[in-house]
Amino acid sequence: MELCQLTAHELKDKLVQKEITATDILDSCLQRVAQVETQVKAFVTLTEESARETARAVDEKGDYRGLAGITCALKDNLCTKGIRTTCSSRMLENFVPPYDATVVRKMKDEQAVILGKLNMDEFAMGSSTENSAFFPTSNPWDLERVPGGSSGGSAAAVAADEVIYALGSDTGGSIRQPAAFCGVVGMKPTYGRVSRYGLVAFASSLDQIGSLTKDVTDCALVLNLISGYDKMDSTSVNAEVPDYTRFLVPDIKGFKIGVPREYFQAGVDERVKEVIKQALLKMEDLGAMVEETSLPHTEYALPAYYIIAPAEASSNLARFDGVRYGLRDTEAENIIEMFASTRARGFGPEVKRRIMLGTYALSSGYYDAYYLKALKVRRLVKEDFDRAFARYDVLAVPTTPTVAFKIHEKSDNVLSMYMSDIATIPINLAGVPALSIPGGFVDGLPVGLQLIGKPFAEGTILRVAYTFEQNTDYVGRKPKLGVN
Amino acid sequence: MPNTEYEAVIGLEVHAELKTESKIFCSCSTEFGAEPNTQICPICTGMPGVLPVLNRKVLEYAIKTGLALNCEIAEFSKYDRKNYFYPDLPKAYQISQYDLPICRNGYLEIEVDGQQKRVGITRVHMEEDAGKLVHQGTITATPYSLVDLNRSGVPLLEIVSEPDMRTPQEARLYMEKLRAILLFLGVSDCKMQEGSLRCDANVSVRPRGETRFGTKTEIKNMNSFRALERALEFEIDRQIELLEDGEKIVQETRTWDESKQATFSMRSKEEAHDYRYFPDPDLVPVVVDRDWVEAVRETLPELPDAARKRLVQNYGLPEYDATVLTLTKDTLDFFDRCMEEYHDAKVVSNWIMGELNRLLNQQNLEITECKVTPFGLVSMLRLIDEGTISGKMAKSVFEEMFATGKQPEVIIKEKGMVQISDESALEPIIARIVADNPKVVEDYRNGKDKAFGFFVGQVMKATRGQANPKMVNDILKRILSGA
């Protein structure tokens, strides 16, 4: 096995034992990038030089605390000082932020080796990474298929072993859905657990930064690194952050797992259902109590989301007006024309669609019927979860209704694309944490098992996921990718 | 002549910049007058990914203002986004408060022709200011405009009145009182010229006796109290004329043109923005704890109304004097400091309202910027009382104090301006003048009062104004009566 194929905790052990150096890991990853990147196309920007400097500095110090010296990469909507942050949009193609996002600062403080910025659906709007203004990313398990989205570059880079782990953002499933499609572990923490400062906002009340890792232990390590209150983010929660590795205990005897039936209805592939059913049987074998339950407002989550998220997006993306940074149409005759033509040229069709949807939903005369109503639905969705969590430790559902679909398969059918997030969106509306872990395979393609927890109970999710991982062999399987 | 068959209905929306050290959602300085774009950061320039964090001082000042304006302080309030595109608005939305403002249902009192009148305050809310555009020439002809974001994110309070005012004068009195209250609280500089106090007016007219409101217009761009009064006078006349001519008033926003002394249409109701307000998901709602409100109430200083009453009751000052002396906190402080050292409030009041205000206005200075100290004024008043200088001499001494900041004793010494209060020195001078003017003496004896004044004038001239006036009077009377 090459170093790039190992997990962060395995590499960390080797670093501490002085068997390898951070530079060795970086070299291995770079070699891998050279081999597969033309097929996968996960990176928007490679930062080889600064990654080398960091690796060298870590090796000189020889202090391999936390995730120091481990090669990783960032979704390209996390602001990096001095390194362009594009959101995979023409609008920000040459935008270089003057500051670091809080999570980026934490990673730099930890001396994480950041190899670059990863492709995504433009401004995180999409479920296939086909909405990138630059190029689509391929699924390492089948290059004809999408990696999911919007954090498709993050999931693909980790699945292809180009980096050891990556950060993504999740507004309606944008970490978990690509994690499921690419067969990696994706965690969306509780809203407020991780500072959003420096994450280019899509929908502020739903966005949350999280991790894409090769296994559950790495997930705990990354969560340790990025979690915590930040005075720069008023919505981050000032609650103590436990050491998440303490929850990595392979025992779920007596755990109560609820299985809401609404997540297994029409539209969910029978073979996916079967995989999840087998996974749940495994949980029972391991001593958990698995029980069917109901989250009755689930069917209203998707429509409510497609009011709330575009409404917030229409306001969040208004700042891209050509005045201070990013694209500007310099030919425009006057300011109004400059606003209009800059935005017409800078945004792709999906972004424009959502800006229009959101603008409409917030307009005078429609606000009560759409936005306010959607907020009420959101409350009902949240109350469903509250009731369920009074009885269960975690809920288990499929992450996605199908395995990864083909490139172009859904790009002309917006609604069918939106439906691929049907099992992840309610979790963002409720603000609760959830993780997707490989739960089995269909036709050689990974299927994601989604574990949902109570607010700030990421630890419980990790314990269940870890137990499942230790007793199955789905986590750690590698796509072929025509190399080795 | 105002048309008395109609009455106007006026409501004011006032924006006051708060005097906090840092901006409302970031730690940049709020200092006025810095080089363009030197007081900015990723947050107040609306960089991608930044988030606002509330400056608690802003909330405290808002509560303080609400309490001083007799408002209810909301236990739960929130911030909303007001969305519109403009190059001076970096996020393309302004963080403001929409349906749940921090303060509601207050009032302030003004005195109109000796009567107290209560003007309702609908609401007070917090918001952020926008930046500033610098045009090359006029806004319509400029080839390009520059954006200065120093002001972006400076905290504002928007204070909205009920439509309770009926005349431009009442509107002016309301603004003066509101300004005085904000100055007493120390929450704002309230400089209309610098834009730290701004005011828009909603105005309509209706036949006297009618209880329904007429169609209103909104007037903007009034940069002084005088502009406010003039603009309202103009607009009220314009509306009455339209009604008299059987025409309809169009609901619109109009701008006051200071050079043309007229209002002009800016945009109609149809062109009005749809701001698409919605709760800002980046900020948590404000929950104000009652204990905190009470603690803030404890810190409220004496407010203009209380100070005015105190001046009337404690010093027997006329209402008019008390009102002028409480227009700003600094004026009141000046007066109070004089009174710590001096006994006669009316004399102090006369000097502040008279000579001091005249010189301040002439040189466009604030009382805090002037060189005359309360101690200096009191020292000068003592010199008058002691007979060292006359009231007339005092005026020129005061001007010198104002110009140089020197103490009155120093000025008198330097200019040799000591009053002549020595009878043996004055008597020969007066006797000579009387002897030189027999004709005038005859007039005096024939009962012509003017004649006496002539002699006083001659004596003053001969002594370069330094003769003790009371003594001159006494000696003149004695000599003229032939004693």
**A291-303 pLDDT, tens per residue?**
999 999 999 999 9
Size of interface A-B (CB pairs under 8 A): 103
Asked if residues A168 and A154 have their Cβ atoms less than 8 Å apart, the reply is yes
- B145 to chain A: nearest residue by CA? A335
- Percent of chain B exceeding pLDDT 90 equals 73
Residue B285 forms contact with A (CB below 8 Å): no
Residue B1 has pLDDT above 80, yes or no: no
R_g over Cα of chain B: 29
Asked if residues A72 and A113 have their Cβ atoms less than 8 Å apart, the reply is yes
**A385-423 pLDDT, tens per residue?**
999 999 999 999 999 999 999 999 998 888 888 988 999
> Residue B452 corresponds to which tokens in the numbers above?
């006496």
- 3-state secondary structure labels for all residues of B203-252: EEEEECCCCCCCCCEEEEEECCHHHHHHHHHHHHHHHHHHHHCCCCCCCE
Is residue B3 very low, low, confident or very high in pLDDT (cuts 50, 70, 90)?
Answer: low
> Residue A57 corresponds to which tokens in the numbers above?
């500095």
Sequence-distant (6+) residues with CB within 8 A of A177 are: A127, A148, A149, A399, A400, A420, A421, A424, A436, A448
Phi and psi of A106, rounded to 5°? -60, -40
Average pLDDT of chain A is: 97
Residue B135 forms contact with A (CB below 8 Å): no
What whole-number distance in Å separates Cα of residue B312 and Cα of residue B306? Answer: 10
SS3 A59: helix
Q: What is the largest CA-CA distance in chain B?
A: 97
Is residue A38 very low, low, confident or very high in pLDDT (cuts 50, 70, 90)?
Answer: very high
Write down the pLDDT at residue A371: 96
Min Cα distance A140 → chain B (Å) is 30
**A171-225 pLDDT, tens per residue?**
999 999 999 999 999 999 999 999 999 999 999 999 999 999 999 999 999 999 9
Contacts of A364 in chain B (CB under 8 A): 274, 276
From the candidates B26, B41, B79, B85, which should be mutated to test the interface with A, based on the most A CB atoms within 10 A?
A: B85
Q: Is B138 exposed, middle or buried (0-12, 13-18, 19+ CB in 10 A)?
A: exposed
Asked if residues A327 and A345 have their Cβ atoms less than 8 Å apart, the reply is yes
Residue B153 forms contact with A (CB below 8 Å): no
Q: Interior CA angle at A366 toward A364 and A372, to 5°?
A: 105
Between A84-88, A436-440, B349-353, B424-428, the lowest mean confidence (pLDDT) is in: B424-428
Residue B390 has pLDDT above 70, yes or no: yes
Neighbours of A63 (CB within 10 A): 13
Neighbours of B301 (CB within 10 A): 12
Residue B138 has pLDDT above 80, yes or no: no
Active site residue A89: no
- The CA–CA distances, whole Å, from A267 to A484, B55, B417 equal 37, 49, 103
Min Cα distance A139 → chain B (Å) is 28
Average pLDDT over residues B218-238: 95
For B26-55, the DSSP string reads: S--B--TTPPTTSS--TTTTT-TT------
Distance of CA A441 to the CA centre of its chain: 20
Residue A79 forms contact with B (CB below 8 Å): yes
Contacts of B50 in chain A (CB under 8 A): 99, 197-198
- A103 to chain B: nearest residue by CA? B49
Residue A482 has pLDDT above 80, yes or no: no
What whole-number distance in Å separates Cα of residue B347 and Cα of residue B334? Answer: 14
| Type and span of the H or E element at A176 | helix A176-182
> Residue A416 corresponds to which tokens in the numbers above?
């069918």
> Residue A408 corresponds to which tokens in the numbers above?
């172009």
- Percent of chain A exceeding pLDDT 70 equals 99
From the candidates A315, A328, A333, A338, which should be mutated to test the interface with B, based on the most B CB atoms within 10 A?
A: A315
- B144 to chain A: nearest residue by CA? A334
**B19-62 pLDDT, tens per residue?**
999 999 999 999 988 999 999 999 999 999 999 999 999 999 99
Q: In sequence order, which ranges of B133-214 are alpha helices (DSSP H)?
A: 168-185
Q: Tell me if A234 and B45 make a contact (CB, 8 A cut-off).
A: no
CATH, domain range A3-253+458-470: 3.90.1300.10
Residue B52 forms contact with A (CB below 8 Å): yes
Q: Which of A28, A88, A169, A174 is catalytic?
A: A174
Average pLDDT over residues B405-415: 88
Active site residue A204: no
Write down the pLDDT at residue A484: 44
For the CA atoms of B428, B433, B434, B439, the dihedral, rounded to the nearest 10 degrees, stands at: 170
What whole-number distance in Å separates Cα of residue B120 and Cα of residue B107? Answer: 4
- DSSP letter at B198 equals E
Average pLDDT of chain B is: 92
Write down the pLDDT at residue A43: 98
The minimal CB distance from B54 to the residues A98, A196, A234 is found for A234
Active site residue A174: yes
Residue B93 forms contact with A (CB below 8 Å): yes
Min Cα distance B57 → chain A (Å) is 16
Task: Give the A window 177-216 contacts with B, CB below 8 Å.
Answer: 196-201, 203-205
Q: Tell me if A319 and B46 make a contact (CB, 8 A cut-off).
A: yes
Handedness of CA A322, A323, A325, A331 (dihedral sign): positive
Write down the pLDDT at residue B306: 95
For the CA atoms of A89, A95, A99, A101, the dihedral, rounded to the nearest 10 degrees, stands at: 10
**A47-97 pLDDT, tens per residue?**
999 999 999 999 999 999 999 999 999 999 999 999 999 999 999 999 999
- Burial state string for A436-449 with b = 16 or more CB within 10 A and e = fewer than 16: bbbbbbbeebbbbb
- Percent of chain B exceeding pLDDT 70 equals 99
Q: Which of A12, A41, A75, A106 is catalytic?
A: A75
Give the β-pairing of B262-268 and B278-279: unpaired
The minimal CB distance from A198 to the residues B46, B49, B274 is found for B49
SS3 B6: strand
Residue B276 forms contact with A (CB below 8 Å): yes
> Residue A319 corresponds to which tokens in the numbers above?
């700042």
Contacts of A238 in chain B (CB under 8 A): none
Asked if residues B56 and B25 have their Cβ atoms less than 8 Å apart, the reply is no
The minimal CB distance from B284 to the residues A99, A199, A235 is found for A235
Q: Which of A150, A169, A411, A436 is catalytic?
A: A150
Neighbours of B70 (CB within 10 A): 15
Is residue A483 very low, low, confident or very high in pLDDT (cuts 50, 70, 90)?
Answer: low
Handedness of CA B241, B246, B247, B248 (dihedral sign): positive
Q: Tell me if B49 and A204 make a contact (CB, 8 A cut-off).
A: no
Q: Tell me if A99 and B47 make a contact (CB, 8 A cut-off).
A: yes
The minimal CB distance from B282 to the residues A85, A204, A321 is found for A204
Asked if residues A236 and A194 have their Cβ atoms less than 8 Å apart, the reply is yes
Q: What is the ipTM of this complex?
A: 0.96
- B279 to chain A: nearest residue by CA? A312
The minimal CB distance from A201 to the residues B49, B54, B276 is found for B49
The minimal CB distance from B87 to the residues A198, A311, A335 is found for A335
What whole-number distance in Å separates Cα of residue A360 and Cα of residue A351? Answer: 14
The minimal CB distance from B281 to the residues A101, A312, A320 is found for A312
Neighbours of B395 (CB within 10 A): 14
Average pLDDT over residues A329-337: 92
Write down the pLDDT at residue B149: 97
Min Cα distance A87 → chain B (Å) is 10
Q: Tell me if A234 and B283 make a contact (CB, 8 A cut-off).
A: yes
Write down the pLDDT at residue B415: 80
Total-model pTM: 0.90
Q: Tell me if A201 and B147 make a contact (CB, 8 A cut-off).
A: no
SS3 A169: strand
Q: Tell me if B51 and A231 make a contact (CB, 8 A cut-off).
A: no
Q: Interior CA angle at A246 toward A242 and A248, to 5°?
A: 130
Residue A231 forms contact with B (CB below 8 Å): yes
What whole-number distance in Å separates Cα of residue A36 and Cα of residue A41? Answer: 8
Contacts of A318 in chain B (CB under 8 A): 83, 85, 91-93
Q: Domains along chain B?
A: 6-294 (no CATH), 302-415 (no CATH), 423-480 (1.10.10.410)
Residue B47 forms contact with A (CB below 8 Å): yes
Write down the pLDDT at residue B2: 56
Q: Tell me if A364 and B147 make a contact (CB, 8 A cut-off).
A: no
- DSSP letter at B439 equals H
Question: Pick from A420, A404, A402, A457: which is nearest to A435 by CA?
Answer: A457
Handedness of CA A201, A202, A204, A209 (dihedral sign): negative
Min Cα distance B158 → chain A (Å) is 22
Write down the pLDDT at residue B65: 98
- The CA–CA distances, whole Å, from A398 to A206, A390, A420, A473 equal 20, 21, 11, 18
Domain spans of chain A, in order of start = 3-253+458-470
Min Cα distance B364 → chain A (Å) is 38
Give the β-pairing of B262-268 and A256-260: unpaired
Average pLDDT over residues B348-375: 93
Asked if residues B166 and B142 have their Cβ atoms less than 8 Å apart, the reply is no
The minimal CB distance from B92 to the residues A235, A321, A371 is found for A321
Residue B281 forms contact with A (CB below 8 Å): yes
